[in-house]
Amino acid sequence: MHVPTILSGPILRRVETSQIYIWIATSQQFDVNAELFQVKQSSAHESIYEPISIQTNTETMKLGKKLFIHLIKLTPNQNSFPINELLGYNLTFDNGRQTLDLESFGLLSVQNPHAIVYGDLKYPTFYINNSDCANIMYGSCRKPHSKGNDALVNADLVSEDHHTDLTKRPSALFLVGDQIYADDVADPLIRFIQDLSKELMGETEALEKLDSRLELDPFHTSLQQINGRQFIMRHFAKFTSTNPNNHLIQFGEYAVMYLLVLGPQLWDLAKAYGVFDPFEQRIKNNEYYFVYPDQPCFAKEREKEFEQYRNRYIDQLQRLHAFQQTLFHVRRALANTPTYMIFDDHDITDDWNLTAEWKRDVWNSPLGRHVVANGLAAYWAFQGWGNDPDRFSLGFKNSLSSYFEFWQIKSTNYQQMVNLLWDYDAWFFIAPTEPKAMFLDTRTMRQYIALPKPTTIGTFIKENVHSPKLISSNGWQRLSEHLMKSDWQSGHPLIVVSPTPLYGIDLIESSLHDYVYPLRTVGVSVETLLDFEAWKYNGEAFNEFHQWIAKWDPSHCFILSGDVHYASSATSTVEFPSGKQMDIYQFTSSPMNNTSFTGVWGFLIKQIARINSLKGETIDRYCDRPGNLVIENASNPCPSDFQWRETIQFLMTSSHANVITDNNIGLFTLDNNKVKNHLYKYVGMYQTEETFNTLSLK
C-alpha cells in the first residue's frame, strides 16, 4: 500500500495564553516545527499576517514502522499569546532532504476541496477566548456506518459562517465520548483496517501467545475474516458487546479506526483497496466467516445467513459512502478549533468497566486484558495526550514507547504497559476554556458497591447488587484537589463535562430502574443489555456530585453531556438545609452519528419523549439522610433531615419538544448572563438548527 504522508490532522488541541498544542500523524519521520501569526484586517479588508515570536518543542512518538504522532508545543517569547484575536498557524516538516509545509500538501490552497482554511484566510485559524462570552460546540457518539448524517460537520459549517466574527465563532469543541466504535465495526471496513494496520505497524501482535486456542481452526482463520470475531470476543476475551463480529483487537487496528474517522486522508486508499467492492466480490475472495458450514444438511440455514449478511453489507456500504463524503468538513473543524476529548465505553469496548464482574472477568482473560490495554494506548495517542500533555509523566510515555518499539507480548515491557494502563485512573483534566471545564472520567474511576440491595419482584423478595458509583468518593477528592490547583476560583462559572448526563429523562430512567433492573436477580443480564449507568441509579453517587459542586461553589454550574442518544436541556435549583441554593444547568447533545431509537424499543422511547414534551416535565425530589433520591409530593413531603432538595425543569425547543433523538451536535452559548443550548443537524447538503429556551442566569 502507498499510504499518504499526512495520515491525520493537523488537530488543534490544548490552547491557552502560555502554550498551544497541535497534533498531527504522519507515515514518515519528520522534524516538525510551527509558525504563528496574528491575523489583522487592513483598511482594504485584506488580511495581514504578523509573525508572532515563538519557541517550538515537538515530541514525536513512533507507534509503528509507518506511524508517527507529533505533538507540537508553541510557547511565546513574550509574556503570553494575544487573547480575543484571530491567530493563524502553519507547520513545517523537515526530513533531512527537504522542508515542506501545509501548503506543500495542498492544505492551504482554496482550489483544493480538502483545504483546511476558511474563506480568504491564508492559514488555519483560532482564537484564545478570554471574554465573558462562550461558544462551545459539544457532542458524542459517532459511528461511521450509522443511519443519518454526521452532525459533526456542523462544527465546521458554524465556524465557516463566522470565521472572522469571534463573538459567534466557536472557541472550543468538546468531544465527550464514543469518538470511535471499537466494538461495532462495519463489515466493508474490517479487512482494510486489518491490512492497513499491518502496513503501518510493520509488526503483527502474536495473539496466539495470549490464547493458544487462536492457533486452531476455525479461530485462526475467522480472526482475519469479516464477521469472524464474535465467538472469540465473547468467549475468549469475555466481552459483552452486542455487535463484536468485527471487534478491533490489535493496537494498529484501533489506530487505523481513529485515522478513518478523523479525516478523509485514507479513504482514497480505502477505495483503491476495495472497501466499496460489492458483497459478491467479498464472497468470491472468501473474506466472510459463516456460522453454518457449507454442507447440504445446513443448506436452509446457510442461505438465510447469506442473505442476512448480504443485506447488512449493502446497508453499511451505503452509510459508509455518505460518511466519508463529508470528512473534509470534520478535518477542517479539528484544524481550526481547540479540541478536547474524553472517552466513554465504545472507545474501548461496549460495557467497559460496567460492573465489578465485567472488569474481573476481562482482566482474568489474557486476550480481553490485552484488547483493553490496546484501546487505552490508542486513546492516549489519538485523544488523551493533547488534552493536557503535562498530566503524563516521562515514565508513562517511556513505558508506552518501549511497548510500541518491540511489540513483544508477555515481555517485561508488555506487562508493565498493560499494568500501567489498567491501573491508570487520572484521565480527567481541566480544559483552559472560558468558563473553565472539568472533564470527568466515569469509566476508570468507578466504585463498585459490594453490599446487598433489597429488591422486590411481584411477591418475590430478592437481594440485588448496587449500581456502581460512576466516580468513587476518593475520585471526587482527587478531582477537587486538581481543580483547586488550577487557576479556577470559587465564585467563577464552571463547566463540568460528564459523558453520562447528571439529569436524564426521568420517566425513562425510573422505568428502567424500578421495573427492568430488578430482573437481574432472576438471571437476566439487563445491565449489559441496556447499560444501567445513569447517575441516579446510585443515590450516594448522585448526592456526592451535588455536595462537591456546592463545596466548590461556582457562580454558575453548567453540565455538558452526551452518551444517551438524545438531546435535552434541564435546569435544577438545589436547596440545602442551611438555606443555601445553587443552580445547575444541564445540556445534553447526542448522538452526532448513531441514530439508535429504531424498532419496538425505539418506538417506546419516542413515545415517552412525546409524552414528556406534552406535559413539560418538572420534578421535585429530595435526597434523604441515607442518600436515596425520593420524589416529593403531597403524600410524600420532604422530611426535616433532608440532605438537599431540588426542582428540575426540562426545557422546550423551538419545535415544542424537550427531547431530540435525531443526529445532532450542541452549541453552548453564554453571553450577557444568558445561556442557550442550540442543536444543529446536518441533512443532505444543509444544516438545520433548533434551540432550547434561552435562560437568564440567576
pLDDT tens profile 606-659: 666 556 555 556 889 999 999 988 989 888 999 999 999 999 998 988 888 888
**Is the distance from CB of 667 to CB of 158 less than 8 angstroms?**
yes
User: Residue range 400-412: average pLDDT?
Assistant: 83
Beta strand 674-683 with 695-696 is: antiparallel
End-to-end CA gap in the chain: 59
Reference 508, options 393, 659, 696, 312; nearest CA is: 659
Residue 680 lies in a domain: yes
pLDDT tens profile 563-593: 988 899 999 999 999 999 999 999 999 899 9
Q: What's the per-residue H, E or C state across 641-654?
A: CCCEEEEEEECCEC
Question: What region, left, alpha or beta, does residue 178 occupy, with left being phi > 0 and alpha being psi -120 to 50 degrees?
Answer: left
Reference 396, options 410, 382, 412, 385; nearest CA is: 385
For residues 46 and 70, the model is more confident at 70
Reference 429, options 493, 384, 468, 473; nearest CA is: 384
Cell numbers found for residue 37: 501569526
Cα gap 170→666, rounded to integer Å: 11
Residue 195 lies in a domain: no
Q: Is the pLDDT of residue 116 over 50?
A: yes
What percent of the chain is modeled with pLDDT above 90?
77
Domain of 547 in residue numbering reads as 429-696
Type of residue numbered 241:
S
Residue 275 lies in a domain: no
pLDDT tens profile 78-103: 889 999 999 999 999 999 999 999 99
Reference 233, options 30, 444, 31, 375; nearest CA is: 375
* 249-253, 254-258, 331-335, 690-694: least confident range: 690-694
pLDDT tens profile 528-538: 444 557 898 88
Cα gap 627→642, rounded to integer Å: 9
Report which secondary-structure segment, H or E, holds 143: none
Residue 340 lies in a domain: no
Q: What is the pLDDT of residue 529?
A: 46
Q: What is the pLDDT of residue 526?
A: 40
Residue 495 lies in a domain: yes
pLDDT tens profile 460-508: 555 555 689 999 999 999 999 999 999 999 999 999 999 999 997 655 5
Residue 18 lies in a domain: no
Residue 453 lies in a domain: yes
Q: What is the pLDDT of residue 431?
A: 98
Length of the chain equals 698
pLDDT tens profile 146-203: 999 999 999 999 999 999 999 999 999 999 999 999 999 999 999 999 999 999 999 7
Beta strand 87-94 with 31-41 is: antiparallel
221 CB contacts (<8 Å, ≥6 apart)? 228, 289
Q: What's the per-residue H, E or C state across 408-455?
A: CCCCHHHHHHHHHHHHCCCCCEEECCCCEEEECCCCCCCECCCCEEEE
pLDDT tens profile 313-328: 999 999 999 999 999 9
Residue 685 lies in a domain: yes
pTM across the whole model: 0.94
Question: What's the structural domain count of the chain?
Answer: 1
For residues 457 and 262, the model is more confident at 262
